[in-house]
Every structure is written in structure tokens, then in C-alpha cells.
Structure 1
Amino acid sequence: MVDKTEAVILLHGIGLNKWSMIPVTRILKRAGYVPVGITYPSTKLSLDNIADWLSEKHLTPDFWNGYSKVHFVTHSMGGLVARRYLNKYRSTINPYKIGRVVMLGTPNFGSEIADLMVRYFPPYKYFYGPAGQELATHIQAQNIDTAFFETGIIAGSGSWLYPISSLIFRAPSDGRVAVEKTKLPDMKDHITLRTSHTFMIYRKKVHHQILHFLKHGSFDASQI
């Protein structure tokens, strides 16, 4: 068990809400963490403005003062939000309280799916808003900041749920994000598991790796 004053912020993907992270919330609670699910306006604001919104509405100084450590577990675009928030507000946070960050299928270098949607499907911007446009590969490639926090990234290589993805991705992907696009230069650890983008948050093998990284700062190589 862990120190019960360690919180874990759960950040969902675009167009979803905190309830989509319930499977992860449950395993964190059983492990002794304090899970904090947040529904943020993923389709209404830019990534930068979402970071501001988090700071103003939820991750206030009082919130940080209430815990010994604050970790993050994120799915898809939620990882970009965590990166933007932590880098933008780094100077306002006690560095000893910043825990570890686990990203699940996060398009750190963008997604080719977003490239196609932005270019060929005009309604995309209305459905997914400013942040949705920022998922394009050429935009994310320009916004790679230093990960001063310990980051563990889990990529999926199971694209069977999205048959059309084989026409888009020429390399392993989870059907939405290419494995290589999930990586960061300063990441602490990275693994690829046979799972799809949508369902990775439900997989027990993913849950095991989340808990292992939060506790040890590395993934469990024996279970890959």
C-alpha cells in the first residue's frame, strides 16, 4: 500500500469525461491512492487554455498543499494536457510534490488520424474544437517540451478494432496513434502492449503496469 496522502489526477481523452477513467480509478483506490477524476472542456478550449482552466478550477495551491504527492494517469489527449499544465505552472508547484506521470496512448507527436480529419473533414473542428486541431502531427512536433517529471508511456499495438487504420499507418499503432508518436525524448520508460487505443484503459495488464510505474518509476519488464 502507498501513503494515503498521494493523489492521482485522472485526465481523459478528447470528447470524453472522467467516467471513462473509472476502470483505472478503481485499481488506484484499491492500491491506496486518492484518485481524482476531472472532466475538463476537451472540445471547447485549446490545450493552453485547458491548462489554465485546470489551474484555476481544480489544481489550485490549496489542492497541492493537501497531498504529499500528486501523480497523473492520462489517456490519449489527457497526456498532452498534463504536459502542458505541468510545464506552464511548474514555477508555482512545490517540486517535491510532483509525482509520476503515466500516459496511455498519448499522441505526443500527434496523430495521422488528426492530420486527415483536419485536412479533409471540415466539421472536425466543430466537433473537437481548438485542442482537436492541435492533435495534428506538424503542430505537436513543434511543442515538445522538456519532461522534468518522471514519465512512463504505454503504447498500444492492437489496431484490429479500426480496420481502416491499416491504410493510414505504415508502422505499429493502436488504431489511433502510432507507437513511435507516443514517445518523448525525456521519458523515463516506454512499453508497447497488444491493446487498442479505446480499450487499453480496461486491460488488466495495463492496470498492472500503471501501478508498477507509480510505485517504482519503471514498468514491469517481466510482464510485457
Structure 2
Amino acid sequence: MARRVVLLHGLWMPRASMAWHARRLRRAGFVPQLFGYGTVTGGPAAAMPGLLARLQEPADVLAHSLGGLLAVRTLQAHPELPVGRIVCLGSPLCGSAAAVGMARRPFGAASLGRSARLLRRGCRPWTGPGELGMIAGNLPMGFGRFFGGFSDPNDGTVAVAETRLDGLADHVVLPTSHSGLLVSKEASRQALHFLHHGRFAPPA
């Protein structure tokens, strides 16, 4: 039976932003399901019940940015959910310096909305039963770098160090930007490899 993969988008993005990865998953024999939620007006608290309903049946997860934070927080609160593997794309699981910087500005705090707290604080170390993998980027192209004050490798929005949550099964860094992770063939290849094997592939 084909495995189901729930896809979660990031901040300010529609669920269609994960459609390219959904097509790649479908071609690889998975059953992708896009999960949409209000990232600003609703936030994680409003999104969690819907995500819980989607994850009552066995599934894997592929999530970009804020979507990874939402998935990990949900699974940490509900470790009984039958989720096998989780792949995050550029998710600041250790907390986002860019979000902290934006929250200090009136317009920035409003633009983060109800997701601000989760973005600033991140997640606890991963101890869940599922295997959690992270694909990070190190091409610094994105306006988040103006708020994050990055001096170390980053994807323009999230620092690589912010993606290295304790408890990850594997971590890989690719030469792509934060938004580039949404359409990167290598990110797709690595995500598929992790979903099959619980580890990322050697560099191509």
C-alpha cells in the first residue's frame, strides 16, 4: 500500500507552495496530501486540531519552515500519533533569530501574527518515536538576513545552526536558499531518500 505524506507550508505561504514537492512524491509512489493553515491570523494553536485529524492514520510528513515547527510541536504533544518519518526543509527548530529581530519592530510583529511565539522559541530536543531529518540551505538570499544578523552559514532566512535540533536522525546542507528549498531537485531527492531509509543520501 502506498505511503501517505502530509505536506505543510511555511509562513506567509499558501498550501500550493508545496505542490511541486507533492508532484515529486506522487511520481515516487507516495500519496501526498497538502495541509493548509492560516500562518498569521490563525497560527499554530488554530492549525493543530486540523493537523491532528490528518495524522490519526499512518503517515509521514514533509514540511517547509514554519510547517516543520508546527509538525514537530504537534508530534511532541501527541507522541502516540502514527507518524513514521518527518522531513523538515529549512525549519528553524532551535528558534529563529530573524523572527526575533522582526518582532522588535511594530510592522514585523504584526506580520508574524500568532506564529511569532513558536518561531522565536522553537522546539524542545526531539525524543519522539518517529525519525526526524532536516534539509538546510546555505545560499544567503532572502530578506530574513536583514533581521537575523547572521554571521554564520544561512539560507537568507534561517541560519544552518538554527536547524540543528538535538535528536535529529540526520541533517544535510544544500546550496540553496530558503525559498529555493521548495523547488530544489536535490532537496526532493534527499527527502525521498529519507522517507525510504531514515537517512539522507550521499552527495550526488
Which AA in structure 1 matches 2:107? Answer: P
Taking every aligned residue pair, what percent have the same amino acid on both sides? 33
**Quick check: 1:40–1:54 contact (8 Å CA) kept in 2?**
no
Which AA in structure 1 matches 2:124? Answer: I
1:130 and 2:119 matched: no
Q: TM-score, normalised by structure 1?
A: 0.83
Q: Distance in 1 between matches of 2:51 and 2:125?
A: 19
RMSD, matched Cα: 2.0
Q: CA deviation at 1:110?
A: 1.5
Larger Rg, first or second structure (1 or 2):
1
Q: Match of 2:179, SS?
A: coil
2:96 maps to 111
2:13 maps to 16
Which AA in structure 1 matches 2:152? Answer: A
**Quick check: 1:162–1:175 contact (8 Å CA) kept in 2?**
yes
Q: CA deviation at 1:189?
A: 0.2
Q: Distance in 2 between matches of 1:166 and 1:205?
A: 28
Q: Distance in 1 between matches of 2:95 and 2:147?
A: 17
1:99 to 50, 69, 84: 84
Which AA in structure 2 matches 1:13? Answer: G
Which AA in structure 1 matches 2:21? Answer: V
1:51 maps to 48
Q: Match of 1:24, SS?
A: helix
2:124 maps to 144
- Which 5+ residue runs of structure 2 have no aligned equivalent? none
**Structure 1 residues 43-82: aligned runs within 5 Å:** 43-55=40-52, 58-59=53-54, 61=56, 64=57, 69-82=58-71
Say if 1:167 and 1:113 are closer, same or farther in 2 by CA, change over 3 A.
closer
Q: Distance in 2 between matches of 1:102 and 1:25?
A: 13
1:195 to 170, 176, 189: 176
Say if 1:60 and 1:212 are closer, same or farther in 2 by CA, change over 3 A.
closer
**Quick check: 2:97–2:148 contact (8 Å CA) kept in 1?**
no
2:76 maps to 87
- Which 5+ residue runs of structure 1 have no aligned equivalent? none
Q: Distance in 1 between matches of 2:91 and 2:148?
A: 21
